[in-house]
A and B are shown apart, each in its own frame.
Chain A
Amino acid sequence: MGFAMRMPLNEEIVKKDSFRHEYINGKKNGFSFDVQLAYYRGHYLSDIDELEVRMDGELVPQEAVTFELNGKEMPVYKVKMAVTEFWSQVVPAKIHVIFPGGVSTGEHELELKLMLRIPYMQIGPGHSFMPLDAGDKVTIKVED
């Protein structure tokens, strides 16, 4: 991958304290966490090019990931079409993940890959914009 801008104005992009188990029919079968947009301004969700979640290095299937902002929860493919949903950099989004069996107690490595286009920084002819790497990899301590 070529050069991508990073602007971690807030050192904590993935909010570790926000990690929660999610339950399906009363059983631990997933998790959620909050993420702050790592840039000086907000973006329309359609500026998001890639959104992937990995738990301990294992990629979560795309259809098991949803993105929630301002009370709307949507699958990743719709995030890329959301040209009127604006993500302010001071309003964290919540990522929900269906993860059968849940995450076990102890330390885990949670990685969010989040690549955006900076839509006013055209870097070449055609549809070519400065990539923004707004992802994060954190070690979380999961409790029961």
Chain B
Amino acid sequence: MGNIKLGATLFCYGTEYARYQYDFEECVRQAAMAGAQGYEIVGTQMLPSYPNVSEEFLGLVQALKVKYGIGPVGYGANNDKGLLSDRNLTDDEMLADAILDLKAANKLGCKVMRVQYMMSPEAFGRLAPYAELYDVKCGIEIHNPETPASETIQAYLDVIKKTGSKYLGFVPDFGFLSVAPNRPKWLKALQIGVKEEHLQMAAQFRRDGIPMEEAQKQLFAAGASPAIMDNLAGMYGFVQFHDRKDLPDLLQQLKDIIPYSFEMHCKFHYLGDDGKEASIPYEDILPVVAGSEFDGYLICEYEDEMYSGGTEFTKRLIALEKKILG
């Protein structure tokens, strides 16, 4: 039997935070009110003394845990390979920066750190002894357009198996299980005058595996507005989606990777009044997790394409998780 806990990344409230509508305390309070049992903090977003955790901030985190009953359980790291103006960071440098992130995660009491695949599999492998020292499990984020079976992710799996460390693994983001076009991007396109029929055409090209350049050519030939390009780039990029008939295969990929997963991210972009995510089929995904041995947090993660703030949608997503998981 597994042990699923529900959490939220404070990134859900990124828009409210950037607009000074919420301070750090308000983000924690909202996550608690939405039903989160713990939260993820993205260091570059909310650590006032990034990359370090100051005593003052740690005091605040601990006080808020007493006040609202929830504390940090996951640390979202950024692996800034492009930090220098003239060259990429080397593996040695990426490793050194990731160790600093481990220190921050450890000080905050987080047992899991989400690592981006900017860090090479080789450097990630070298992180294992440090992760063990700090007692923080490091998971490579599996983010759309990658899937567990994709070549990039399999290279990390090879390293994980080779090190044999229980401290290296994955943090799958369910965005990779999208089976319909991204709803907010669709609505935004309609708002700026793109016709629905052209969006339908674009989505079908994507499902049919037509290359983006060819899709673009055919859309323009059919009289589509040039404003469709942002949407098209999304469909072939970070918010791409699969044909629904591929879902069983993708869910199998998820099952295969769960034994290596420390935390999973319930990505969401839009929940309608029916309480369902418009493109990610949670009613199919969550039973797979519930039927596994997964022991950790499902962290809900709102990506605010509409700059509308995440407060309401985060409540809806956690309610949806509870409804499905029972």
Which residues of A are at the interface with B, using a C-beta cutoff of 8 A?
A: 3, 8-10, 36, 40-44, 46-47, 49, 80-81, 83, 86, 88-90, 117-122, 126-127, 129
Complex: chain A residue closest to B88, CB-CB:
A127
Task: Flag B71-95 by CB within 8 Å of A: 1 or 0 each.
Answer: 0000000111111111110000000
Chain A residues whose CB sits within 8 angstroms of the CB of B19 once the complex forms? 9-10
With A9-B14, A9-B15, A9-B19 known to touch, is A118 a contact of B82 (CB < 8 Å)?
yes
Chain A residues whose CB sits within 8 angstroms of the CB of B82 once the complex forms? 47, 117-122, 127, 129
Q: Which of B42, B44, B86, B304 has the most CB of A within 10 A?
A: B44
Q: Which of B19, B20, B80, B81 has the most CB of A within 10 A?
A: B80
Complex: chain A residue closest to B303, CB-CB:
A40
B220 within 8 Å of A by Cβ?
no
Choose from A41, A122, A127, A129 the contact partner of B45 (Cβ within 8 Å): A41
B window 18-32: CB within 8 A of A:
18-20
Nearest-Cβ distance from residue B80 to partner chain A, whole angstroms: 4
B116 within 8 Å of A by Cβ?
yes
Nearest-Cβ distance from residue A36 to partner chain B, whole angstroms: 8
Nearest-Cβ distance from residue A109 to partner chain B, whole angstroms: 25
Complex: chain B residue closest to A116, CB-CB:
B82
Which residues of B are at the interface with A, using a C-beta cutoff of 8 A?
A: 11, 14-15, 17-20, 42, 44-45, 48, 50-51, 78-88, 116, 118, 233, 304, 307
Interchain CB contact under 8 A, B83 and A47: yes
Chain A residues whose CB sits within 8 angstroms of the CB of B307 once the complex forms? 8-9
Q: Which of B15, B18, B307 has the most CB of A within 10 A?
A: B18
Interchain CB contact under 8 A, B81 and A120: yes
Interchain CB contact under 8 A, A120 and B85: no
Interchain CB contact under 8 A, B78 and A126: no
Nearest-Cβ distance from residue A103 to partner chain B, whole angstroms: 27
Complex: chain A residue closest to B89, CB-CB:
A119
Complex: chain B residue closest to A36, CB-CB:
B18
With A and B bound together, what is the CA distance between A1 and B233 in angstroms? 17
With A and B bound together, what is the CA distance between A42 and B307 in angstroms? 18
Chain A residues whose CB sits within 8 angstroms of the CB of B11 once the complex forms? 40
Other than the known A81-B85, A90-B18, A127-B88, what 6 A-B pairs have Cβ atoms closer than 8 Å?
A9-B15, A41-B42, A42-B44, A42-B50, A47-B83, A89-B18
Chain B residues whose CB sits within 8 angstroms of the CB of A81 once the complex forms? 85
Interchain CB contact under 8 A, A46 and B118: no
Q: Which 9 A-B pairs have the closest CB atoms?
A: A119-B82, A119-B80, A9-B18, A129-B82, A41-B44, A41-B45, A40-B14, A117-B82, A10-B18
Nearest-Cβ distance from residue A27 to partner chain B, whole angstroms: 35
Complex: chain B residue closest to A12, CB-CB:
B19
Choose from A36, A41, A42, A83 the contact partner of B83 (Cβ within 8 Å): A83
With A and B bound together, what is the CA distance between A10 and B18 in angstroms? 6
Interchain CB contact under 8 A, A90 and B78: no
Interchain CB contact under 8 A, B51 and A86: yes
Please name 19 pairs of A and B residues whose Cβ atoms are closer than 8 Å in the assembled complex, sorted by A. Answer: A9-B14, A9-B15, A36-B18, A40-B14, A46-B84, A46-B85, A47-B82, A81-B85, A83-B83, A117-B82, A117-B85, A119-B78, A120-B80, A120-B116, A120-B118, A121-B82, A122-B82, A127-B86, A129-B82
